[in-house]
Amino acid sequence: MKPVGELKILNHQPYIIMTHEDLCAIQHIVDIAPKEAQWFHRVERSIEKGVIMYNLYEMYIPEQYCSAAEVDTDPEMMMKFFQELSKEHGPETANDIVQNMTAWCHSHHTMGVNPSGQDQKQFKEQCELAAKQGINLPQVMLIFNKRNEYYCRLWDPEANLMLENVDIIIGNYDFDWIDEQAKTKFKKKVVKTVPSTQGRKHWQGGGLIDFNQLGWSGSPSASRTGGKKKTRKERNEKNVKPQPKLTNELGGIELVEEEIQELIQSTAKVDDYNNVDKLLEILDNTLNEVQLCYLSILSSGNETEIWELENEIIISNEDLYEEAKLELHNNIIEFAGESEEFVQMIRCAIMLEHAPNAEVAEQIIDHYMTFYFDDMWPNPYEEEEEAKRQHIRDILNER
């Protein structure tokens, strides 16, 4: 008999917690170490909301002998290290530091991070010594290399568990003060309207405009009643018939389609920003300002903003246009390699500008989301892992 899945811990999921500063300190010591190097962190254990958290904090570097294959700190060096701590913090605090300085870390330079026989022997001795001395704190071994890889082994005497490769979660910074100020200081500019001879409303400035406010009309069946968005199954599968101008603009994309795909593919291979600039130049010459603004939203991968285009249209101004080009530059880098999908996205941006009403816009967006949008999202397992990480960050922020 075989299980239909991997072993999962459904309660008391273990995580190692450290600050971004401590992680950067680890990366720095690994980068500058000429060969192998070792250091220690203090460890605290806590259980909150079904999660076991092993909090690693503060870095301590003893004197050591470094070589290509091993690193060693002899008893005389450790005594000197304790004297340094006592001089800086006082004997009592120095003793407290040493008592919970139970995370032993070292680097493997450019080699793999799997523990050597000596690493395993030393960690076994560390756990046995802690047990003899009545230290009930978790014992941690972490190995890093210059390829941003790590290996972890963790002994938790309270849970009587030996864990391997525990996930490291980086704690969030506290930005609540920004959230509070944003509530009062981030304001929406009031937009004025003036009547036109064509019976529509023209907005002074750029931004998003509601279809219904514009008074655009299509066939009776194409009118939008508002309210909650339909699910995909509830939407009509009607074809959108291109108008002559729309047909010409879509044909213009076909003329440069091959060049666009080549630039997208080459950007993925060599990460060449010159190709991104060339692609932006082609788009700038082929699309108008409004279509570029639509394309920047479609390429952002923000599903909420994309669905807002169902009931709103874009009226561009210079600031919005320049912002859209900047966002497109960043989005193209993220989209590198997906050349066919990117071309289809351009077509959708052109069609959205010409959509006469909300229902037609909905059909265009639905087509885009159904066939191309799924590729932008991580697989369900990655989302599940990110949800776990966010759960930890929420716990840390509530402290």
Q: How does pLDDT run across 131-173, given as a tens digit for each residue?
A: 998 889 999 999 999 888 999 999 999 988 999 999 998 876 6
69 touches 111 (CB < 8 A):
no
* Second-level CATH architecture of 13-170: 3-Layer(aba) Sandwich (3.40)
Give the pLDDT band (50/70/90) at residue 218.
very low
Domain boundaries, the chain: 13-170, 204-376
pTM score, whole prediction? 0.47
Give the pLDDT band (50/70/90) at residue 120.
very high
Pick 378 or 278 by higher pLDDT: 278
